[in-house]
Amino acid sequence: MIKVMGFCNLHGNRSLGPLTDARPLGSTSFLGRYALMDFTLSNFSNSGIDKVGILVENRFRSITKHLGSTNVFNMNTKLGFQQILINEKTIGNPIYHHDLNNLRHNDWILLEHKPDVIVIAPSHILYVMDFKQVIDEHLKNKSDITLLYTHIRDGKKHFLDGEEVAIHDGFVSKMQPNQGMKDDLDVSMDTYIFSRQGLQHIFDKAKGLSATFGLKEVLKHLIHHDPKLVYAHAHTGYVRSFFDLGLYYDFSMEMLNYDLRKSVFLEDWPIYTVTNNTPPARYGPNAVVQNSMIANGAKIYGTVKNSIISRNVIIEEGARVENSIVFTNTHIGNDVHVSKAVIDKYCHIHHVKKLEGKDLPLYIRQGDHL
Amino acid sequence: MIKYKSIEVFILEKEFVAMLLAGGKGTRLEILTKKLAKPAVYFGGKYRIIDFPLSNCAHSGIDTVGVLTQYESTVLNTYIGNGEKWGLNGIHSLTATLPPRQTEDSNVWYRGTADAIYQNLDFLDALKPSYVLILSGDHIYRMNYQIMLDAHKKAAADLTVAVLNVEQKDVSRFGIMTVDDEHIIQKFEEKPKKSVSTLASMGVYIFSYKSLRQSLVNDAKKLDSDHDFGKDIIPAMLANKKKLLAYPFHGYWRDVGTIESFWEANMDLIDNPEAQSLFHSDDLKLFSEDTRSLPQFVGEDAVVHDTLINQGAVILGTVKHSIIFHDVIVEKGAVVDHCVLMPGSHIKSGAKLHRVVVASQVETNQMVSGEDSIVLLGKSS
């Protein structure tokens, strides 16, 4: 049997501005219930991969808080694990602090589990994928490296930090930064399948190239010299790359659309997450709720429209929340009007009666009393 | 070490253990218990009845629980598992499901609540408890059993019975007792037609194990016994001059034995402030299973008032004063009022439900009013 290990890659962390000051994107809240990395980890679990390393760059607090010592992603709670991998050697030295060095310095996990196939997937790109099929194809091709890519039609604003790829004869023949000059293009999903030798090859080559090159830079360089090295696998369907607060807001709000939601949350593809044992949401006698997602434990006495309300949020009577995202345990007081805002956890909004974002959503920091 | 004659299993000895009686059918809940033991019946939008006593155990610092199952035990046993849902799977914990078993000497069903415990005396002996808490899997309430144990110890009682005051008209449904100034039980009547006292047993007992063991062994020898705690064990202990203490309970408690009382207790969660404390308390979280559902979605034209809704539900129609479980769909054009919609039920456009309990996975487009008495919609109807 082929032994597969997955790595959830949190390196090359995107910043959503103040939203990600104290947490990596991977553990940032999504749709009132999930962390973004839940999608990556659930893709692994549902694909039968439950030996998983999590390559963390920094801001560990939020990751350990989310994952703790839970078994939610494991099929077998003894055989499966989500090992948080931190690279102590390079943490104080940013130019060396990349995913490849994290993997190399934590190679004990590869030596211990001896995987035949290694899947590396990012936490900032959301998609739903059965890796079994890709791995089968990878094995059939006798490939050492397979890269997953997708076609986008909004390249002027999407994947702006991503890599455009050129595909030739089923191989990735070129990889270069998306310049944002055109809408239609193929982009890398920063997701790779390696054979054990394939990954070793990367380690070996990286040494001679540059100690500061991460996985993506090394691959780019190798592809440039050998356009038949990396197999390409096309993925179609929902793919979103989280890059800034505006996109985070857009990608959240679009989930209020039923058809899109159905295409991501499939019946046979559950998205696992940590449970908090919160009671059902409570709607008061004068509550008005329209076109919104509400998480358990919320208490809604006021008006909520086109919004995403997280666990244990209280919306008081007379409060009005529109086109907004409200994070866990936040309290929106009487007569407060919130519009196009992202309000972080544990906030109390009482004195300021109007919060309104314009082109960009207004962001309120965790724990603020306004 | 637990010893079943030829087999030994390692377990930890405990001073205080719980035995939860969960084998009953709950006949008056009709189709809700057709394929399901009553403790596994859904309650309150997210829970099953048995979540209440098990969460209580967890919050009372009890980590060793035997669950006696019999009627339709498969779903219940599977649900209980290793106790993980209530955190009762820690390194010092033991959650054991105890259905009737064949032994060298016998091969019988549990013939009564007392017999169920009697048939598991070997299990209890191995735990070497000083005190045994006997619970029922039928009731909705929150309670700290440790405080009750303190009272039991202080009084040096053989048995402590949790009690609450019921209305005069309800005495015939309960074990009713008379107590002296120090709450020592003087008289106990099982389901009397009439009674001056309105002090009723909640079916929550703490026994000193020696007294429990002796009483059960004596009772097992009696051919005319129903092997029931209320009918047989407690009267016999009183007759034998044992010290029986009544422990008054204050707070919300319901026996959800009928469709009417089941519906009422669910409605209480919406507008009875005492019932709201059942799970809106940070320190006493009610534990249950997580269904991995998406957060609930409320649609553009939906109207939702005075309602509890669990994750995974999709509300596109009108819902008032109702309890909505996970993964329920209420279509646009459907109206639901004073209802309990169980998991996965699907209320289609055109349906109009008033005072109805809809069983899980049921689809309906009917107009049904339970104005006179609550209507239960099952799969066949």
Higher-confidence residue: A351 or B103? A351
Q: What is the pLDDT of residue A155?
A: 95
- This prediction has a pTM of 0.90
**A274 pLDDT more than 90:** no
Higher-confidence residue: B61 or B12? B61
pLDDT per residue as tens digits for the range B82-110: 999 999 988 889 999 999 999 888 888 99
Interface predicted TM-score (ipTM) of this complex, two decimals: 0.88
Q: What is the pLDDT of residue B282?
A: 61
Q: How far apart are CA A227 and CA A304, in angstroms?
A: 53
Mean pLDDT score of chain A, rounded to an integer? 93
pLDDT per residue as tens digits for the range A37-71: 999 999 999 999 989 999 998 888 888 888 876 67
Query: For chain A, what is the radius of gyration of the CA atoms?
Result: 21
Q: What is the pLDDT of residue B25?
A: 79
- Residue A35 · residue A27 · CB < 8 Å: yes
Put simply, the answer to whether A294 touches B309 (Cβ < 8 Å) is: yes
Query: How far lies B63's CA from each of A263, B55, B356, in Å?
Result: 43, 11, 38
Q: Is A232 helix (H, G, I), strand (E, B) or coil?
A: strand
CB burial of residue B234 (10 Å; 0-12, 13-18, 19+): buried
Q: How far apart are CA A314 and CA A297, in angstroms?
A: 9
Query: For chain B, what is the radius of gyration of the CA atoms?
Result: 22
Helices marked H in chain B: 51-59, 73-80, 113-118, 121-127, 145-154, 209-221, 234-239, 259-271, 273-276
Quote the minimal CA–CA distance from B287 to chain A in Å. Answer: 6
pLDDT per residue as tens digits for the range A297-329: 999 999 999 999 999 999 999 999 999 999 999
Residue whose entry in the numeric block shows the structure tokens 């045994």? B132
Q: What is the pLDDT of residue A62?
A: 82
Residues of B in contact with A270 (CB under 8 A): 292
**A73 pLDDT more than 60:** yes
Put simply, the answer to whether A31 touches B311 (Cβ < 8 Å) is: no
List the one residue out of B270, B274, B238 whose CA is nearest residue B254: B274
Q: Which residues pair with B20 in a beta bridge?
A: B67, B135
Mean pLDDT, residues A230-251? 95
B/e letters for A195-231, b = 16+ CB within 10 Å, e = fewer, are bbebbebbeeebeeeeeebbbbbbbbbbbeeeeebbb
Mean pLDDT, residues A246-259? 95
Q: What is the pLDDT of residue A358?
A: 92
Q: Please, which pLDDT band fits residue B268 given cuts at 50, 70 and 90?
A: very high
Higher-confidence residue: B105 or A230? A230
**B381 pLDDT more than 60:** no
Structure tokens at A129: 């994928």
Put simply, the answer to whether B300 touches A290 (Cβ < 8 Å) is: yes
Put simply, the answer to whether A292 touches B298 (Cβ < 8 Å) is: yes
Q: Which residues pair with B187 in a beta bridge?
A: B178
List the one residue out of A169, A167, A166 whose CA is nearest residue A177: A166
CA B257 to chain centre: 10
Q: Please, which pLDDT band fits residue B257 given cuts at 50, 70 and 90?
A: confident
Put simply, the answer to whether B280 touches A291 (Cβ < 8 Å) is: no
Q: Does any CB of chain B come closer than 8 Å to the CB of residue A255?
A: no
Q: What is the pLDDT of residue B2?
A: 67
Q: Which residues pair with B65 in a beta bridge?
A: B18, B95
Q: Please, which pLDDT band fits residue B4 given cuts at 50, 70 and 90?
A: low
Quote the minimal CA–CA distance from A202 to chain B in Å. Answer: 38
**B246 pLDDT more than 90:** yes
Residues listed for chain A: 370
**Which residues are within 8 A (CB) of B71 and not within 5 positions of it... i.e. 6 or more apart?**
B23, B24, B25, B33, B37
Among partner residues A31, A32, A290, which is closest to B302 by beta-carbon distance? Answer: A290
Q: What is the pLDDT of residue B283?
A: 67
- In chain A, pLDDT over 90 holds for what percent of residues? 80
Among partner residues B287, B298, B323, which is closest to A294 by beta-carbon distance? Answer: B298
pLDDT per residue as tens digits for the range A327-337: 999 999 999 99
Q: What is the pLDDT of residue A69?
A: 63
Least confident of A182-196, A212-226, B98-112, B222-236: B98-112
Of all helices (H) and strands (E), which one includes residue A249? helix A245-253
Put simply, the answer to whether A261 touches B304 (Cβ < 8 Å) is: no
Higher-confidence residue: B10 or A171? A171
B interface test, pick of A277, A292, A306, A309 with most B CB neighbours within 10 Å: A277
CB burial of residue B10 (10 Å; 0-12, 13-18, 19+): exposed
Q: What is the pLDDT of residue B5?
A: 60
- In chain A, pLDDT over 70 holds for what percent of residues? 99
Residues of A in contact with B290 (CB under 8 A): 275, 277
Q: Please, which pLDDT band fits residue B280 given cuts at 50, 70 and 90?
A: low
Q: Are strands A29-30 and A34-35 parallel, antiparallel or unpaired?
A: antiparallel
Q: Is A292 helix (H, G, I), strand (E, B) or coil?
A: strand
Put simply, the answer to whether B292 touches A279 (Cβ < 8 Å) is: no
Structure tokens at B305: 């008032």
pLDDT per residue as tens digits for the range B134-150: 999 999 999 999 999 99
- Residue A106 · residue A7 · CB < 8 Å: no
Q: Does any CB of chain B come closer than 8 Å to the CB of residue A285?
A: yes
